Amino acid sequence: MFLDVFEDSPAARAGAAPGQLLISVDGTPAIPPAIPAFRFGQDHQVTTKLPDQIKTRNFVITVPQRKALKGRPPLIEPKSISHRILARRVGLVRYLLFRAVWNPFLEALGSSGEDLKAKGCDRLIIDLRGCLGGSLGFASLVSYLCADRIPIGYDVTEDVSARIHCY
């Protein structure tokens, strides 16, 4: 079963969604403990169904070609931050990866919050399930939750614009 599908991933673009049961990949039944192989640079025919339905759904997941970098295995990195409106005045922010590239992470974090505020959100659900990454990214997230807008630090360039603030 797909428990979670990363936003803008090859599986999400193909139509996979949480709750779907994986029936087969490339005609091979997906029966535990066997793990289906999704190979880089290939298309994979996937069959799924919802638990309470008989009808199956077929779609193709295209896994882009990736090369290993500096001794690391090839991977398709998920978007580090995504957000959306769940219900009236309730926003959801998902953190999949606290990025090592600090400034783009902070920009994404800030723009997520600003976008949700602009849409009228005054309540927020923060989803950290499966989140990978380090303590500095987590400290930045926590700083956004403080009522007094307490800054948590400075950029090594001492640029005032790089100061981390709560929103």
Residue 142, H or E segment: helix 135-143
Task: Assess whether the previous peptide bond of 64 is cis (omega < 30° from 0).
Answer: no
The pLDDT of residue 32: 86
Cβ contacts of 154 within 8 Å, gap of 6 or more: 162, 163, 164
77 pLDDT exceeds 50? yes
Cβ contacts of 73 within 8 Å, gap of 6 or more: none
The pLDDT of residue 70: 72
SS3 assignment, position 69: strand
26 pLDDT exceeds 80? yes
8 versus 17: the higher-pLDDT residue is 17
155 pLDDT exceeds 50? no
Cα–Cα distance, 130 to 90 (Å, whole number): 22
49 pLDDT exceeds 80? yes
131 pLDDT exceeds 80? no
Residue 97 — very low, low, confident or very high, per pLDDT cuts 50/70/90? low
Cα–Cα distance, 10 to 102 (Å, whole number): 25
